[in-house]
Amino acid sequence: MQYQQSAPRAARTAASGHASEPRADSAGFDALFDESFERMKRLAFLLGADDPENIAQEAFTRLHGRWRSLGGPDKALPYLRRTVVNLSRSRLRHLRVVRRAPKEPNRDIVSAEATVLAGHANRAVHEALLGLTPRQRQVLVLRYWLDLDQQAIAETLGIAVGTVKATTSHAMTALRAALPEEDDR
């Protein structure tokens, strides 16, 4: 019987190269990984990625490759967030192209991981988020889930602060229309 590593440990092992050879600067990376892996996975999920765990793992792998050249540990989390956003965008773009291909029928099957993450109570909100444009979804997730201010959102997405404000307003209007009013009991 072969031992299987948990997903976070497997990603950390893949990112570091060898589990038995810790690097001198790996303590900071390991701490960031332990603290942020689930958050980055959830971020990818909320941005609409169909494989959030793989995106989070890839983001950490890329961060590890740039760890020494980042210019300080305070730049690691913004780099990680931006990488997750960019990988999610790329994945969604890829899926859009693949789904347009007439060769195979469109199979939009929700993964077991996505079902568990969404949960029953949050399904309506998640479906409403998926109904937004990708930019609107990204802005709302970064604002209300990661609690970033408008400047940090603008830097993460590479857009102007005014665009963040307008996109947030339009997205909230669309969400209000998509979600039913709840009784105030």
What confidence tens digit (pLDDT) does each residue in 120-151 have?
557 777 788 888 999 999 999 899 888 999 99
Q: How far is CA 75 from the centre of its chain?
A: 18
> What's the whole-model pTM score?
0.54
What confidence tens digit (pLDDT) does each residue in 11-36 have?
555 555 544 444 446 788 889 999 99
Sign of CA pseudo-dihedral 43, 45, 50, 52: positive
Question: What is the DSSP annotation of 89-121?
Answer: HHHHHHHHHHHH-TTS----PPPHHHHHHHTTT
